[in-house]
């Protein structure tokens, strides 16, 4: 249930609607926009007549939301959400570049990566310390030591940090070292962890699952939103199809679809989306042209010796070249980078 207040509705009028919703057993989520305050009520909406709310002072309109997700729906915040991570805004005019290696491997490697990302105009450095590998014999990440290296490298270059949280027990560590907590594709439906992330007051980047529909992605976001954490960035990272040439099939169409259905920002990860270095660049360009709010790209100073995902990691000079092209594309679609 969505209640849209009149422009300039008084605080007492907003409070009266909240009280009425609570009385009727709704959980209320408030979105205070520049023009309108919107109240999202999660509860027994089939038992409520929207006209009853429309008759209240200061209420402009009231609707039942038929989609299975309520707080992730565009109706909840029609103007869109801008996630502000220490001043870096994701979902606004600017297209934000996040780049770095698949895994943190050493202090030297991650420090070099941070310098390259900063030089390319990136705002966020990525790097996994807990790695979800298909084989238990593959490199699993450096854990807390890796997070500390990542933080040090980022701070030296004034970058923000994004890193993956693989399990709910790791949340405190990620909160300590990282500015954005990444939920990987394999964990998109780890509902226990999503609920825990709802209690955290740090931005979460939620990747689309390997076999997840867009609706399932938005329902996973709803788990986090319903816990009260509204700082969510969605990420298209390719889905599994019958095509075997690329590692996954990069679903560029998910970007405009998510923009229509949801207020949440969406970024694109063309590295996991294609799995091949030479395909990453064109897909990155396509994602920005399609309206992505940012890019998450793997880059390694020496990809041939990377401990994970070397084949899809850009070489430093490729990241530089891509960043230049993205600036041109961003301005052609009314954004900046």
Find the binder of ligand PEP among 40, 58, 91, 128 (CB under 6 A).
Answer: 128
Residue 196: count of CB within 10 angstroms of its CB: 19
Residue 303 found at the interface with ligand PEP (CB under 6 A): no
Residue 102 found at the interface with Mn ion (CB under 5 A): yes
Q: What are the E-state strand segments in the chain?
A: 2-5, 27-32, 37-42, 59-63, 83-85, 88-90, 96-100, 124-126, 160-164, 180-183, 204-207, 232-236, 266-268, 294-298
Residue 185 found at the interface with ligand PEP (CB under 6 A): yes
Number of residues interacting with ligand PEP: please give it, by CB under 6 A. 10
Residue 237 found at the interface with ligand PEP (CB under 6 A): yes
Beta carbons of 104 and 149 less than 8 angstroms apart:
yes
Beta carbons of 102 and 163 less than 8 angstroms apart:
no
Find the binder of ligand PEP among 50, 78, 132, 227 (CB under 6 A).
Answer: 132
Task: State which of positions 90-109 bind ligand PEP (CB under 6 A).
Answer: 102
Beta carbons of 325 and 297 less than 8 angstroms apart:
no
| 184, interface contact from ligand PEP, Mn ion, none, CB < 5-8 Å by kind | ligand PEP
- Treating both helix axes as pointing N-terminal to C-terminal, what angle do 214-226 and 191-198 enclose, rounded to 10 degrees? 40
Provide, rounded to whole angstroms, the least separation between the CB of residue 309 and ligand PEP. Answer: 6
Residue 272 found at the interface with ligand PEP (CB under 6 A): yes
Residue 207 found at the interface with ligand PEP (CB under 6 A): yes
Q: Which residues of 9-39 are buried (b: 16+ CB within 10 A; e: fewer)?
A: beeebbebbbebbeebebebbebeeeebbbb
Of the pair 9, 233, the CB lying nearest ligand PEP is at 233
Rounded to the nearest 5°, which phi and psi values hold at 26?
-95, 150
- Round to whole Å and give the CA distance between 163 and 103: 9
The contact pattern for Mn ion, residues 307-326, with x = CB under 5 A and - = no contact, is: --x-----------------
- Round to whole Å and give the CA distance between 236 and 217: 10
Of the pair 98, 330, the CB lying nearest ligand PEP is at 98
Find the binder of ligand PEP among 41, 100, 184, 301 (CB under 6 A).
Answer: 184
Tokens encoding 263: 């207020």
CA distances from 291 to 176, 267, 329 (A): 32, 9, 10
Find the residue with minimal CB distance to Mn ion.
102
The contact pattern for ligand PEP, residues 60-89, with x = CB under 6 A and - = no contact, is: ------------------------------
Give me the sign of the Cα torsion angle 167, 195, 232, 68.
positive
Provide, rounded to whole angstroms, the least separation between the CB of residue 210 and ligand PEP. Answer: 7
Residue 123 found at the interface with ligand PEP (CB under 6 A): no
Contact region with ligand PEP (CB under 6 A), list: 5-13, 14-22, 58-66, 184-192 = 184-192
| 282, interface contact from Mn ion, ligand PEP, none, CB < 5-8 Å by kind | none
Give the residues lining the site for ligand PEP (CB under 6 A): 102, 128, 132, 184-186, 207, 237, 269, 272
Give the residues lining the site for Mn ion (CB under 5 A): 102, 309
């Amino acid at each position: 249930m969505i209640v849209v207040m009149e422009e300039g509705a008084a605080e007492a009028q907003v409070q009266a609607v909240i009280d009425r919703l609570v009385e009727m057993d709704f959980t209320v989520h408030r979105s205070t926009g520049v023009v309108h305050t919107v109240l999202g009520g999660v509860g027994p909406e089939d038992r409520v007549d929207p006209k009853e709310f429309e008759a209240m002072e200061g209420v402009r309109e009231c609707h039942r939301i038929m989609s299975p997700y309520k707080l992730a729906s565009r109706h909840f915040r029609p103007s869109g959400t801008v996630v502000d991570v220490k001043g870096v805004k994701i979902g606004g005019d600017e297209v934000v570049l996040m780049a770095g290696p698949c895994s943190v491997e050493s202090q030297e490697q991650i420090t070099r990566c941070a310098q390259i990302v900063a030089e390319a105009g990136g705002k966020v450095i990525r790097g996994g310390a807990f790695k979800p590998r298909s084989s238990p014999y593959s490199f699993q990440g450096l854990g807390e030591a890796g997070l500390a290296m990542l933080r040090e490298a980022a701070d030296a270059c004034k970058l923000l940090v994004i890193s993956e949280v693989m399990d709910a027990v790791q949340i405190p560590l990620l909160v300590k070292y990282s500015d954005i907590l990444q939920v990987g594709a394999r964990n998109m439906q780890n509902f226990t962890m999503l609920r825990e992330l709802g209690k955290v007051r740090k931005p979460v980047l939620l990747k689309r699952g390997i076999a997840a529909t867009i609706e399932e992605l938005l329902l996973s976001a709803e788990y986090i939103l319903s816990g009260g954490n509204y700082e969510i960035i969605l990420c298209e990272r390719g889905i599994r199809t019958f095509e075997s040439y690329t590692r996954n099939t990069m679903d560029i169409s998910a970007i405009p679809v998510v923009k229509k259905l949801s207020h949440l920002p969406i970024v694109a990860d063309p590295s996991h989306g294609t799995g091949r270095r030479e395909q990453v660049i064109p897909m990155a360009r396509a994602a920005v042209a399609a309206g992505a709010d940012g890019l998450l790209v793997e880059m390694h100073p020496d990809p041939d010796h990377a401990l994970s995902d070397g084949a899809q990691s850009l070489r430093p000079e490729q990241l530089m070249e891509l960043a230049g092209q993205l600036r041109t594309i961003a301005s052609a679609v009314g954004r900046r980078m």
